[in-house]
Chain A
Amino acid sequence: DVKVTQSSRYLVKRTGEKVFLECVQDMDHENMFWYRQDPGLGLRLIYFSYDVKMKEKGDIPEGYSVSREKKERFSLILESASTNQTSMYLCASSLVQGDGYTFGSGTRLTVV
Chain B
Amino acid sequence: SQQGEEDPQALSIQEGENATMNCSYKTSINNLQWYRQNSGRGLVHLILIRSNEREKHSGRLRVTLDTSKKSSSLLITASRAADTASYFCVTRDTGTASKLTFGTGTRLQVTL
Contact = CB atoms under 8 A, between A and B. Distances in A.
A42 B104 CA distance: 4
Given A42-B2, A100-B45, A108 B40 contact: yes
B98 A98 contact: yes
Given A42-B104, A98-B31, A98-B92, A103 B99 contact: no
Interface residues of B, number: 24
Contacts, number: 60
Contacts of A101: 35, 43, 45, 100
B1 A97 contact: no
Given A40-B104, A42-B102, A58-B99, A100 B48 contact: yes
Nearest to A99: B48
B59 interface: no
A105 interface: yes
24 contacts: A4-B42, A35-B102, A40-B104, A42-B103, A43-B43, A43-B88, A45-B99, A45-B100, A48-B99, A50-B98, A58-B99, A88-B40, A90-B43, A94-B98, A98-B98, A99-B48, A100-B48, A103-B35, A103-B42, A103-B43, A104-B42, A105-B41, A106-B42, A108-B40
Interface of B: 1-2, 30-31, 33, 35, 40-45, 48, 88, 92, 96-100, 102-105
Interface of A: 4, 31, 35, 40-43, 45, 48, 50, 58-59, 88, 90, 92, 94, 97-106, 108
